[in-house]
Amino acid sequence: MGRNKSNFVDLCQGDFGRKTAYTGVAQITTENVVQVLSDTIGTHNRNRMMINYLYRYYKGDQPILYREKLVRPEVNNRVVENHALEVVKFKAGQIYGEPIQYVCKKKKADKKINEQVDLLNDYLDEANADARNIQLGIYQSAVGTAYKAILREDDWTKDRDLPPFRIFIPYPGDVYIVYSRNTGKAMLSVQILKDEENQQYYLCYSSNQYFKIKNGQVTVSGINGFGGIPIIEYPNNHDRLSDVEIAITAFDAINKYQSDRLNGVEQFVQAFMKFKNCEVDENEFLKMVKLGAISVKDAGNGVQSDVDLMTAELNQSESQVAKDDIYNNMLIVEAMPNRQSNTGGDTGNAVYLRNGWDFAERDAKLVEAFTKEAEKASVRIILNIIRKTSNDVKISTRDFDVKITRNPTDNMLVKAQALDYLFKNKIHPLIALITCGLFSDPQKVYEMSLPYLGTVYPELANPDAEMKKAQELIKDFSQKSIQNQSATISSTGEE
């Protein structure tokens, strides 16, 4: 890999985002897989250049480090304020900072399904899914897309704690997915690997087969037993734009401002000495510098001699204002909250809105939709592996929902007060638990709390009958909420 000596705009020529590889074939077979690979590898190679650049940029390899200075080249500070790292860590934390959970969504209460969903969550915990997801989130934010590979665990046995599957996050520059041009369906995954002799080959998976391609030929092929393509793409957004590249020119400008400010200070301290109407040889000058004093004589004939420092100090306060303006605009583009302090008198919600946390939340919801879609595709492969090994999780993705939790303790006191108010006004407990926003899985909280709620609400003494009633209530509540939102949008559009 090279160094990021040039800027990103020159590299991508203004064509931002990662390109998607498409094919027009209806089915991938042994006869056409090499041609499909040949037709799409060019798209990936272009993406790979951008991915390498952006990932190195996120880690701190930025163009300012290679800047050359023509005037006084010895005063050339190169400072990286790695705000790209700040952005990527914030964005990854928004989605993957809290563990992704699977929660039951069945209309009818089913204790067995809840137990099965809990068992699936336990499997993922043993597979260190949280750590792998954080790694995936960093790739996703830094380069615009990421991939999750679900593999079989070769060391799995029924008597060991290891799950029968393993989660692997490959480097995005070594993987890509080929999609159908007509339907948008994932047709083929391609991994660029090296064998024991350091020879490159391609490992490809379609929904039914796998292929090992080397030197333009299929050397190995067989049936894909995963029940689908075991490598799933997690795009950062529809255009696969990186959170780094959308503000990369601002990052470069901040680096330049900070480096030039240090240059200004250093040039002021190491200012040139000007001798007017007098001659001093090098040895004499060094002696005077060592003594810390300089003595000169007038040249005569009314010509005055003088020694002075050539200084021009940079206005640091004005530079700071310009730098802060760039930084604040970068935060707006990235939908990140600022660091403004509370001046007093603000409520928690006022600070939440003023400092940009509301915009950050809305932006995270846009990424969340793509993450949920990819996460369900990953779980389908995991469930298929479990069925063929331990066979103790017998549910499908229709039985549960993907729950991404963010900041559950924000305004916790306000939420708790709202819950108490709803309880006192005889709102059904399940509706109250969902509305207050305190819990990532309000249904499970409701089920676990039924014995205690029954002491407050005698009508909850029969949990089974009450759970059926609660499920019907929550279904109606969700439908009415959607209808109200649709009505609001329609009325706003008419206005």
User: How remote is the C-alpha of 179 from its chain's centroid?
Assistant: 23
Task: Classify the phi-psi angles of 219: left when phi > 0, otherwise alpha if psi is within -120 to 50, otherwise beta.
Answer: alpha
| Residue 187 main-chain phi, psi, to 5 deg | -105, -35
Check residue 48 and give its pLDDT: 96
Q: Pick the residue with more confidence: 404 or 371?
A: 371
- 274 - beta bridge partners? 308
User: How remote is the C-alpha of 190 from its chain's centroid?
Assistant: 23
What pLDDT band is residue 314 in, cutting at 50, 70 and 90? low
| Contact in structure between 273 and 308 (CB atoms under 8 Å) | yes
Highest mean pLDDT among 27-36, 103-112, 283-292: 27-36
Q: Pick the residue with more confidence: 429 or 177?
A: 177
Check residue 376 and give its pLDDT: 94
Highest mean pLDDT among 108-112, 158-162, 301-305, 418-422: 418-422
For the stretch 3-24, pLDDT in tens is 999 999 999 998 999 999 999 9
| d(C-alpha 164, C-alpha 166), whole Å | 7
Question: Stretch 98-119: mean pLDDT, rounded?
Answer: 78
Pull the structure tokens for residue 163.
């799950």
Please check the confidence at residue 2 and state whether its pLDDT lies above 90.
no
| d(C-alpha 193, C-alpha 205), whole Å | 14
Q: What is the percent of the chain where pLDDT is above 90? A: 46
Q: Where are the domains of the chain?
A: 8-244, 410-489
For the stretch 204-231, pLDDT in tens is 999 999 999 999 999 999 999 998 999 9
165-188: burial string, b at 16+ Cβ within 10 Å, e else? bbbebbebbebbbbbbeeeeebbb
**Amino acid in position 256:** K
Please check the confidence at residue 181 and state whether its pLDDT lies above 90.
yes
| Contact in structure between 62 and 251 (CB atoms under 8 Å) | yes
Check residue 160 and give its pLDDT: 79
What pLDDT band is residue 416 in, cutting at 50, 70 and 90? confident
Check residue 175 and give its pLDDT: 97
Pull the structure tokens for residue 287.
């002696």
**Range scoring the smallest mean pLDDT among 89-98, 261-270, 302-311:** 302-311
Please check the confidence at residue 495 and state whether its pLDDT lies above 70.
no
Half-sphere exposure of 46 (CA within 13 A, CB side): 13
The CA distances from residue 45 to 138, 192, 218, 422, in Å, are: 21, 11, 21, 57
| Contact in structure between 204 and 176 (CB atoms under 8 Å) | no
Average pLDDT, the chain: 83
Please check the confidence at residue 415 and state whether its pLDDT lies above 70.
yes
